[in-house]
A and B are shown apart, each in its own frame.
Chain A
């Protein structure tokens, strides 16, 4: 399985600001995924990021709020824009294994918005 790192590990931000989360993988991967994990809720897929193309967003998530970059096969960023307290959550990036589409996760970024 791939080794995945994320930065920052946690942050406390003010309402209305933006935060960019970085995800680095130790091997080249085609697809990277961004999830949100809120207390008491299941992991929710925000978007899928393929290198060289626009990210694909899930229902309820839009590019203006969660812009994603995927400049190469080992790196991706997720920006949480114009934050509100409702964005307080853990944000996780993941990559896909084979053959079961199993997800391998980074350590997560714990975001608190005041």
Chain B
């Protein structure tokens, strides 16, 4: 079993839809949770990060962490064609340097 599981998609939605992207994980030591966006032929770009459980909102994006279920989500409201990209979840532990573990990424296409 992989430490981090993420549905690879592809996920196609119409413009304006609410998108839900999810990851599950097995390592209870993970404390920091991140979402990256990667456009084709580009490096991953940090989108959001959260610490422990709870929600964090930034514009149209909301990151949610449920540590009891080992489940994290990224919601995109009013999705735009420019949101079409691959979204990777990532997580790491706390206390000094900890290796970051990535999901495989979900490819999202927002159709105009």
Contacts and interface: CB of A to CB of B under 8 A. Distances in A.
A100 B34 contact: yes
B46 A102 contact: yes
B43 A100 contact: no
Contacts of A45: 99-100
Contacts of A101: 32, 92, 97-98, 100
A92 B43 contact: yes
Say whether chain A's binding surface is mostly helix, strand, loop, or mixed: loop
B23 to A, nearest CB: 11
Nearest to B99: A45
Interface residues of A, number: 21
A79 to B, nearest CB: 20
A57 interface: no
Contacts of A108: 41-43
Question: How many B residues touch the partner, as a band?
Answer: 20 to 34
Contacts, number: 57
Interface of B: 2, 4, 6, 8, 32, 34, 36, 41-46, 49, 51, 88, 90, 92, 97-105
Contact of B43 (A41, A96, A106): A106
Interface of A: 1, 4, 31, 40-43, 45, 92, 96-97, 100-108, 110
B52 to A, nearest CB: 11
Contacts of A105: 36, 43-45
A100 B97 contact: no
B46 A42 contact: no
Contacts of A4: 43
A100 B65 CA distance: 15
Contacts of A40: 8, 104
A110 B4 contact: no
A14 B63 CA distance: 43
A42 B104 contact: yes
